[in-house]
Amino acid sequence: MAAMFRGSFIESYSNKVPLPSSSSACVRTVLEFLYTGQLVLSPQVDAIELIVLADRLCLPRLIALTEQFAVDNLLKASAEGIDIDGFVLQYLEKAQLHSAGQLADWCLHHICTNYNSICRKFPKEMRHMSAGNQAHFEKWRWPPVWYLKEDDRYQRAEKERQREEQLLHKQHAKRKWCFWRSSTSSVS
């Protein structure tokens, strides 16, 4: 950042520094962080927007603090019963693109452990993930493909066994013992 203001960059000659797609609340948060070293987030600040700005300004500590804030908020929302899968999908590739490795790893873990439900809810988004992310999902997803195949085979075998038991039960029910007395006949 010092090079931007002291070097031969346009910002050193201008009274303005353009920060496209950054809200005033986000810029205020960055300035507060620069002056105090503390992260104080207002409700108007979007975590990903702050990570993008912090990455643009080369502030790795601010990125790390914002990552922790984002994960804490996602966990809190999940504990309250809010579906966070859509947010996690939105966060993943933006976090990877803007040096937020901890947040990206958390998102990958969440997607892998909830793979089937996320694929059902967001099939298009999952198909459009990067090749690296898709390879990661295939390797670490839960349940893994081999487990699903084994479970399917087990379920089919169990249904077949139940059908056979029902047929045997029906055949045994039709047979009667020859020495068995019927309840309608009376002994005199």
For residue range 20-76, list pLDDT tens digits in order: 888 999 999 999 999 999 999 888 899 999 999 999 999 999 999 999 999 999 999
Does the pLDDT of residue 181 top 70, yes or no? no
* Burial class for 100, CB neighbours closer than 10 Å (0-12, 13-18, 19+): buried
Could you tell me if 74 and 87 are in contact, meaning their C-beta atoms sit under 8 angstroms apart? Answer: yes
pLDDT of residue 19: 81
In this prediction, residue 148 carries a pLDDT of 85
**Helix (H, G, I), strand (E, B), or coil: what is residue 59?**
coil
For the chain, list the domains and their CATH numbers. Answer: 17-148 (3.30.710)
CA distance 34 to 28: 10
| Share above pLDDT 90 across residues of the chain, in percent, rounded to a whole number | 69
pLDDT (0 to 100) of residue 42: 87
Give the separation between CA 164 and CA 160, rounded to whole angstroms. 6
